[in-house]
């Protein structure tokens, strides 16, 4: 089966890419607009970009009418956001915050998510998240430039909050304790807590 992506509409391209570029971690992004109104929404177009400077990326797609999602709007306005990671016990609340609330809604309140003050940036973090990254925007790009469909947002990580319960006695992070959820295609999710996890050492030489 060959898919000619030059002929696919947005919905079909999304289906094939989002169902197969998986599992994707979920960034639960809190932001604030200039007036101080708090917003919280999940985004799986999310990745680590570099450890130096420590940089991550989120890519909110535009709304169907071409407008920016509240998250992208707020981050462009204030230059700050927090990415909280989503452990399995938080998955229902995370999903609830994906609802298309109005601009005046605070999704922490709407979904009963407990907020905690951040250390450096103004937006609060998710109190019960295993890890939260406080970020300042290092790059905000509308893509493609001529007729944008999404925002590519790079954030420099300024500080992180880590629940010490996920750190093992040897200092490593146990994926079972971390218990993150990941997004796959359609309504499928995965978990870092899985009996199918395995370790694999990197090659140290090349034996012919």
Which residues are near ligand FMN by CB under 6 A? 26, 39, 41-45, 60-61, 69-71, 95, 98, 100, 183
Tokens of 85: 């990671």
Q: What is d(CA 144, CA 163) in angstroms, rounded to the nearest whole number?
A: 38
Q: What is d(CA 84, CA 116) in angstroms, rounded to the nearest whole number?
A: 11
Please, what is the minimum distance in Å from the beta carbon of residue 152 to ligand FMN? Answer: 11
Please, what is the minimum distance in Å from the beta carbon of residue 53 to ligand FMN? Answer: 23
Q: Which is nearer to ligand FMN, 42 or 155 (CB)?
A: 42
Q: What is d(CA 41, CA 107) in angstroms, rounded to the nearest whole number?
A: 8
Please, what is the minimum distance in Å from the beta carbon of residue 88 to ligand FMN? Answer: 13
- What is the 3-class SS of 10-47, one letter each residue? HHHHHHHHHHHCCCEECEEEEEECCCCCEEEEEECCEE
Please, what is the minimum distance in Å from the beta carbon of residue 171 to ligand FMN? Answer: 30
Q: Which is nearer to ligand FMN, 64 or 200 (CB)?
A: 64
Q: Which is nearer to ligand FMN, 29 or 166 (CB)?
A: 29
Of 73, 68, 88, 79, nearest in space to 180 by CA: 88
CA 172-45-155 angle, to 5 degrees, is: 70
Hey, which bits of 26-180 come out as E strands?
A: 27-32, 38-43, 46-51, 54-58, 80-85, 115-116, 125-126, 131-143, 150-162
Please, what is the minimum distance in Å from the beta carbon of residue 206 to ligand FMN? Answer: 38
- Secondary structure class of 167 (helix, strand, coil): strand
Please, what is the minimum distance in Å from the beta carbon of residue 52 to ligand FMN? Answer: 25
Q: Which is nearer to ligand FMN, 32 or 44 (CB)?
A: 44
């Amino acid at each position: 089966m060959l898919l000619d992506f030059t002929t696919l509409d947005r919905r079909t391209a999304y289906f094939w890419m989002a169902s197969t570029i998986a599992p994707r971690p979920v960034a639960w992004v809190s932001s604030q607009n200039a007036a101080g109104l708090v917003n919280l929404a999940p985004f799986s177009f999310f990745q680590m970009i570099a450890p130096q400077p420590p940089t991550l990326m989120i890519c909110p797609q535009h709304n169907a009418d071409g407008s920016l999602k509240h998250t992208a709007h707020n981050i462009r306005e204030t230059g700050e956001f927090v990415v909280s990671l989503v452990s399995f016990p938080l998955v229902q609340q995370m999903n609830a915050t994906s609802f298309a609330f109005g601009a005046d809604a605070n999704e922490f309140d709407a979904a009963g998510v407990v907020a905690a003050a951040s250390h450096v940036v103004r937006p609060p973090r998710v109190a019960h998240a295993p890890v939260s990254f406080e970020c300042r925007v290092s790059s905000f790009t509308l893509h493609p430039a001529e007729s944008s469909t999404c925002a590519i947002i790079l954030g420099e990580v300024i500080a992180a909050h880590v629940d010490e319960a996920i750190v093992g006695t040897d200092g490593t992070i146990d994926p079972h304790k971390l218990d993150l959820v990941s997004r796959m295609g359609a309504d499928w999710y995965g978990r870092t807590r899985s009996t199918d996890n395995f370790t694999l050492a990197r090659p140290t030489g090349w034996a012919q």
